[in-house]
Structure 1
Amino acid sequence: MTLLRATSSELTKQFTTAIWWILALVLALYVGMIATGLAFAIAASATGALPGTTTTGEGPASGSLIYSLANSIGYVFPLLIGTLLVTGEFRHKTLTPTFLAIPRRGAVLGGKLLAGAVLGLLYGVIAVVVTAAPGAAVFAGFGLETGLGTGDTWAMLGRILIAFVLWVLVGIGTGLVVRNQVAAIVIVLAFTQFVEPLLRVGAAFVESLSGIGRFLPGAAGDALVGASALNMGSGTADTLAWWGGGLVLLGYAVVLLLIGYVTSWRRDVA
């Protein structure tokens, strides 16, 4: 009952503030526009509609690439919402009344994890819809296969939802370790938008780094999904299996949560 109370309280906190739907709206616009534009470019090229191109007839493979954009460029949003789930408590000093209402800190954290999983699923559904719907419509409009008739595509879409849940958990762990909200957001954005992409590019060209690159969080998330625009041209020999990518991403979440719980969550709060 305590865990259910904590989860209900966390969901109420999130859905009575504007940040969740603002991030969801930005996610939909950002990912949806990129997916639609890239789908149009690929479809036009595949059908020879663009000057200087020849018809290739490609469809399902390109469809998977477009649909996977939900994770490969959209994962920063569940990561951010997970981080904000925790750092918001420290910033607005609401953690003290939270602990007074529910003294069991483990239950409070469990409630955040369950609420985060709900938000991760919600964001995942939004990301899948804004990539798969316009992407499939564009491919169908050009007379190409959408790939939505295959079980492999739907399995990939399901794994995107799992990835989003795991990204929220990683974000919660990050928020526990870095309690300052501004610092946590800067770290998340810097790592996801600059540091890891550079490391992954380096790993693609430096053989000695290839074994390390596949264990980076974003690479693990892409491996879990099974497709990524960042893997184009780099081959898949050094890519983890989908279940391996999921375990690595889960490992990041567990390690961060444990470190944060021991070093931050158990500390006295004012």
Structure 2
Amino acid sequence: MSLVRVTQSELTKLFSTSIWWILALVLVVYAGGNAAILAWVFGASSAGSLPGGSAPDIPAETIPPVIYSTASAVGYVFPLLIGALMVTSDFRHQTLTPTFLATPRRARALGGKVIAGAGIGIVYAVVGLAATVAPGAAIFVTQDVPTALDDSDTWALLGRVVIAYVLWVLVGIGAGTLLRNQVAAIVVVVGFTQLVEPVVRTVGAFLDGVRDATAFLPGAASDGLVGASIYSTFAPPAAGGVDLAWWGNGLVLLGYAVVLMVVGYVASWRRDVA
């Protein structure tokens, strides 16, 4: 079976289930809700109208990139999950057996998942950006905060969010290829991204020996690729540390995807299907 046919088959399998739109719906609610709340809080703080009167003075021009980047800063777990599920669902429901029978070249079968994953990553990026940019910009208008949607830098940031989403799907495919078990993959993905890495990055901000290493964690690389994040923009600058260009951070994130897929292919993908 050609790579095009394999990719079409992967897309058919993905869109014939409900998990892709359920995750997309949760992404809209989660990322969109965060963006709306933060846009109101930061906008009100910038305008000096936040209740309490003790809020920090936030320059208005720094707010839009942070809000728009919420799509990746808090929403990256969703493309990561869909990537992992694209692989582990095949193992769980034993649909990988007919896939390998139709496509004996397993590298080609994995390649079809990668191409299909890149496509769903773009779809999720559009959904995530729509969920964050639309409410954020609408709230900015009511608070006299510039939306920055006429700024080329803003559109460049949105484009990098799309790249980040695609890379996160590929990381998820790599994780799924290596782990195989769906429950284990979900636990590891959610546990690492929502617990382990945030703790390590927080600790690293206070320890010189750890700070440089945290710049190479996948979440930190994603934030660096996009160029803005709620977790780093308003944080006090750390002395020293690694400062990569956006494309360098993208290569770090791509490196995670490649390493996971290569190790998964050698250790797991070529094994007999149970």
Alignment TM-score > 0.5, same fold: yes
Task: Structure 1: give runs of 5+ residues left out of the alignment.
Answer: none
**Equivalent runs, 1:37-56 vs 2, <5 Å:** 37-51=37-51, 52=53
Contact 1:83 1:172 in 2 (8 A): yes
Structure 1 residue 55: deviation in Å?
A: 9.9
Structure 1 residue 144: deviation in Å?
A: 1.3
2:216 counterpart residue number: 215
1:117 counterpart residue number: 118
Aligned mates of 1:21, 1:266 — CA distance in 2: 30
What secondary structure sits across from 2:144 in the alignment? coil
**Equivalent runs, 1:1-270 vs 2, <5 Å:** 2-51=2-51, 52=53, 58-231=59-232, 232-235=234-237, 238=241, 239-270=243-274
Contact 1:113 1:169 in 2 (8 A): yes
Aligned mates of 2:206, 2:100 — CA distance in 1: 50
Aligned mates of 1:205, 1:140 — CA distance in 2: 38
What secondary structure sits across from 1:257 in the alignment? helix
Contact 2:45 2:58 in 1 (8 A): no
Aligned length: 270
Per the alignment, do residues 57 and 98 of structure 1 end up closer, same or farther by CA in structure 2, a change over 3 Å counting? closer
Q: Match for 1:67: what amino acid? A: Y
TM-score by length of 2: 0.95
Per the alignment, do residues 214 and 29 of structure 1 end up closer, same or farther by CA in structure 2, a change over 3 Å counting? same
Aligned mates of 1:209, 1:57 — CA distance in 2: 29
Q: Match for 2:42: what amino acid? A: I
Q: Match for 2:173: what amino acid? A: I
Structure 1 residue 106: deviation in Å?
A: 1.4
Of the structure 1 ranges 41-50 and 179-188, higher mean CA displacement relative to structure 2 is found in 41-50
Contact 1:59 1:147 in 2 (8 A): no
Task: Structure 2: give runs of 5+ residues left out of the alignment.
Answer: none
Structure 1 residue 207: deviation in Å?
A: 1.4
Q: Which runs of 4+ in 1 moved over 6 A?
A: none
Q: Match for 2:14: what amino acid? A: Q
Aligned mates of 1:230, 1:47 — CA distance in 2: 22
TM-score by length of 1: 0.96
Structure 1 residue 57: deviation in Å?
A: 7.6
Aligned residues: percent identity? 57
Contact 1:204 1:234 in 2 (8 A): no
Structure 1 residue 234: deviation in Å?
A: 3.8
Deviations 1:65-97 (A, max 9, x none): 111111111000000000001000111111111
Aligned mates of 2:58, 2:216 — CA distance in 1: 34
Q: Match for 1:2: what amino acid? A: S
Contact 1:67 1:135 in 2 (8 A): yes
Contact 1:47 1:55 in 2 (8 A): no
Contact 1:70 1:131 in 2 (8 A): yes
Of the structure 1 ranges 234-243 and 244-253, higher mean CA displacement relative to structure 2 is found in 234-243
Structure 1 residue 54: deviation in Å?
A: 8.0
Structure 1 residue 240: deviation in Å?
A: 2.3
> Once superposed, what is the RMSD of the aligned Cα atoms?
1.5
Structure 1 residue 59: deviation in Å?
A: 2.5
What secondary structure sits across from 1:240 in the alignment? coil
Contact 1:128 1:157 in 2 (8 A): yes
Per the alignment, do residues 171 and 55 of structure 1 end up closer, same or farther by CA in structure 2, a change over 3 Å counting? closer
